[in-house]
Amino acid sequence: MSDKGLSRRQYLTTVGGTAVTLSVAGCSGDGDSGDGGDSGTERPTITAGTAPGFPPFEMKEGGDLVGFDIDLLEAVVSETEYSFEGWEEFEFDSLIPALTNNNIDVIAAGMTINDDRDQTIDFSDPYYSSDQAIVVRSDGDFAPESLSDLADRPVGAQKGTTGEGVVQDELVGDEITENQYNAYDNYVLAIQDLQNGNVDAVVIDVPVANTFAANRPVEVAFVYETGEKFGFGVRTDDDARQEALNSGLSTVREDGTYEELTRKWFGE
Ligand code: ARG
Same domain for 237 and 255: yes
Percent of the chain exceeding pLDDT 70 equals: 85
Q: Please work out whether the CB of residue 161 comes within 6 Å of at least one atom of ligand 1.
A: yes
Same domain for 120 and 235: yes
The residue segments making up the domain with residue 153 are 131-227
Q: Please work out whether the CB of residue 226 comes within 6 Å of at least one atom of ligand 1.
A: no
pLDDT above 70 (res 22): no
Euclidean distance between CA atoms 68 and 97, whole angstroms: 23
Ligand 1: residue of 161, 185, 204, 230 to mutate (most ligand atoms within 8 A of CB) is 161
- Identify which of 173, 192, 202, 158 has the alpha carbon closest to the alpha carbon of residue 54: 158
Same domain for 121 and 20: yes
pLDDT score of 28:
42
Q: Please work out whether the CB of residue 258 comes within 6 Å of at least one atom of ligand 1.
A: no
On whether residue 3 sits in a domain, the answer given is no
CA 34 to chain centre: 38
On whether residue 1 sits in a domain, the answer given is no
On whether residue 108 sits in a domain, the answer given is yes
Same domain for 113 and 240: yes
Same domain for 121 and 34: yes
Q: Please work out whether the CB of residue 80 comes within 6 Å of at least one atom of ligand 1.
A: no
- Model pTM score: 0.86
The average pLDDT across 179-186 equals: 98
On whether residue 17 sits in a domain, the answer given is yes
Same domain for 249 and 147: no
- Give me the number of domains the chain comprises: 2
| Each residue's pLDDT tens digit, 117-176 | 999 999 999 999 999 999 999 998 999 999 999 999 999 999 999 999 999 999 999 999
The average pLDDT across 70-80 equals: 98
Same domain for 142 and 67: no
Same domain for 81 and 138: no
From ligand 1's centre to the CA of 33, what distance in Å?
A: 41
- Nearest ligand 1 atom to alpha carbon 130: 1
On whether residue 106 sits in a domain, the answer given is yes
Q: Which range has the worst mean pLDDT, 31-40, 143-152, 207-216?
A: 31-40
CATH number of the domain bearing residue 105:
3.40.190.10
- Identify which of 44, 21, 91, 26 has the alpha carbon closest to the alpha carbon of residue 238: 44
Ligand 1: residue of 88, 162, 164, 212 to mutate (most ligand atoms within 8 A of CB) is 162
